Structure 1
Amino acid sequence: MSINLTELFETLCINFFEVNQDIDAIIVSDVDGLIIFGEKREEVDLEIVSVLTSIVHPVLERIRDEFAFQKFGTASFDTEKHRLLFISIDEKITLSLVIDTMASIDKVSPYAYFLAEKTARILNAEEDDVIQLDIPNFEYEAEKAERLKNQIYQLRLDIGRKFRFKFIIIGDHEVGKTSIVRRFVENKFTYDYRATIGLNILTHSINFLDNDVKLSIWDIGAQKYFRRFRNTYYIGAQAAFIVFDLTIRESLENVMTWFQEIDNFLNTKDLPIIIVGNKSDLKAERVVDYQEGVELTNSLSERDIKNISYIETSALTGENINDAFRLISYHYIMKSKEIEENKLKADVLEEIN
């Protein structure tokens, strides 16, 4: 049975539109501006966007040429009616997003990169490939620093790098922290519960938009006895999962306690954090609504936490597990690339002006 790429992309876009209300259209086009795929929500002229894409592509190409370590570029433009976000999928293909003029590029970007990766998988799909088309529901609060008023370029993630970072996974006992890690590392689930004794460290590598990302995962025990040791475990952490159980309200309420604990030892304003509501498969036993998780995450973002998101997972079924780890990788890479991005922006703006 042959793969229907157009049908896959249509389904992907429908899912994307459901999660991202600020997106009006999604276009995949080649270097000449020819539309390969295109889906829209409202009356948007896809041909105009395609022409703009063909203009932007050489600039993205120049960025890659001048900075040999980069194969990937992005740019954004503001028009009277829309904001346009362009992501170079490879040397010949560009993903273009037509966004509501009042929407935040920072808020849309993490979704856009997941979309770019899934689009690349569709374009390169082979027989019997299984392509996950679900877009995870997560809330993302990006850094609230002011941007240039007339900014036309917003450079983002590059490709071809090797990243290694330490991140901690914390939360009440029996919320499924170890199960999440095991599902991610081994793609297995164990029904028998065994509490983590103090600390377990696992290393696992993923490919995220052609970046080699090695994660050193510190699965930290929740027992009060180990509290006196946890400050040592936190040292050097570059990202964090705070996990709670969607079937236990107290574990949600304790998320703030866990945040306060790491806030005592780490600079949480610059620490990428994912709030994880686990056991989403237990729908009948669920006592915490999705919006409650979002509201808690938003309350933390109001404390000037720059990179924080919310996502719901199931270690049992594997739902959103890989996306959660890709999301934390995205946050970490974005943080580590900030200085380099600013230099790149300045160079490009100087060239244009």
Structure 2
Amino acid sequence: MTFYSKEDSVDDYLFKIVLIGDSAVGKSNLLARFARNEFNPNSKSTIGVEFQTQKIQINGKEVKAQIWDTAGQERFRAVTSAYYRGAVGALLVYDITRRRTFDNINRWLKELHTHCDMNVVTILVGNKSDLEDGREVSMDEGKSLAEAEGLFFMETSALDSSNVNRAFQMVVKEIYNIFSRKIMMQSEAIKKNDSCWKRNGKTVALEVDVEDGRPKSALCCSS
């Protein structure tokens, strides 16, 4: 899993997150509600890819979520597939009033795992919870699918903003927690393996593989 951080500030991280799911499930309005607190009832289908960056404070550190809104139409899938690269989080969205969008979740999940790390943090989002009278997918069905696939789950409404911020923040916080654990693992591995020591007046340092915490090779020496 790849993480991005600004070299000049240890308090500033940038995580790429993708919004995926069938066309017209409300992905663009979820992003608009989260990023700008806006809702457009007449929003048109996204063509290609759009993204916005939103800042979130976690444990006193500033985290930037770069959220990509991918087109859901089949004819644009070849275009948007390249934009999965580097994503560490995903909101997998369906419309609770359209069962077909829920039935297609496994296809979207397969596509996500084809282009991303299998450990990408993913939340299954049942959108349009305000349209209870038109519901075709029960909350229990959503929870069961999420549990079976090892995903987080939440129902949202971009219209009335229910759970929108919570859904995005849940993904970002989990990514941040994983990142923090990897940094801690790196630090502990360095201490455990005495990977930085003095020899003949020079400092020798070892690079630590963040994925497994094991030192890989000597990087450099400096007087």
Q: Same fold (TM over 0.5)?
A: yes
Structure 2 partner of 1:243: 93
Match status 1:280 vs 2:129: yes
**Corresponding position: 1:201 with 2:44:** no
Instruction: State how far apart, in whole Å, the 2-side matches of 1:325 and 1:209 are.
Output: 16
Displacement, 1:209? 3.5
1:178 aligns with 2:28: yes
* 1:208 and 1:326 in contact (8 A); partners too: no
The verdict on how the C-alpha distance between 1:299 and 1:199 changes in structure 2, with shifts beyond 3 A counting, is same
Q: 1:236 to 1:344 in 2, by over 3 A?
A: closer
SS at match of 1:318: coil
Change (3 A) 1:345 1:247: farther
Deviation at 1:211, TM superposition (A): 2.3
Using structure 1 for the length normalisation, give the TM-score: 0.49
1:266 and 2:116 matched: yes
| Structure 1 residues without counterparts, runs of 5 or longer | 1-159, 302-307, 348-353
Contact 2:156–2:162 (8 Å) recurs in 1: yes
Which secondary structure does the structure 1 equivalent of 2:115 belong to? coil
Q: Secondary structure at the match of 2:133?
A: coil
Q: How does 1:262-341 map to 2 (within 5 A)?
A: 262-268=112-118, 270-301=119-150, 308-341=151-184
State the one-letter code of the partner of 2:53. T
RMSD of aligned Cα (Å)? 1.8
Structure-2 change in CA distance of 1:227 and 1:208 (3 Å): same
Supply the distance in 2 between the matched residues of 1:164 and 1:230 (Cα, whole angstroms).
20
Matched, 1:253 2:103: yes
CA contact (8 A) 2:88 2:117 kept: no
Q: Is the 8 A contact 1:174 1:193 kept in 2?
A: no
**Greater RCO (Cα-Cα under 8 Å, separation 6 or more):** 2
Structure 1 residue matching 2:132: 3-state secondary structure: coil
Aligned sequence identity (%): 33
Aligned residues: 181
* Deviation digits for residues 20-44 of structure 1 (CA, Å, limit 9, x no counterpart): xxxxxxxxxxxxxxxxxxxxxxxxx
TM-score (norm 2): 0.76
Deviation of residue 179 (structure 1)? 0.3
The CA distance in 1 between the partners of 2:107 and 2:189, in whole Å, is 41
Q: Name the structure with the higher strand share.
A: 2
User: For residues 194 and 165 of structure 1, what CA distance do their matches in structure 2 show?
Assistant: 27
Asked if residue 191 in structure 1 is aligned to residue 34 in structure 2, the reply is: no
Residue-by-residue CA offset, 1:49-106 (whole Å, 9 max, x unaligned): xxxxxxxxxxxxxxxxxxxxxxxxxxxxxxxxxxxxxxxxxxxxxxxxxxxxxxxxxx
* Partner of residue 84 from structure 2, selected from 234, 241, 253: 234
| Structure 2 counterpart of 1:169, from 19, 43, 46 | 19
Return the offset for 1:293. Answer: 0.6
1:279-334 CA-to-partner distances (Å, cap 9, x unmatched) read 11111111211111111111112xxxxxx300111000011111111101111112
1:210 aligned onto 2:60: yes
Taking the TM superposition and a 5 Å limit, the aligned residue runs for 1:101-180 are 161-180=11-30
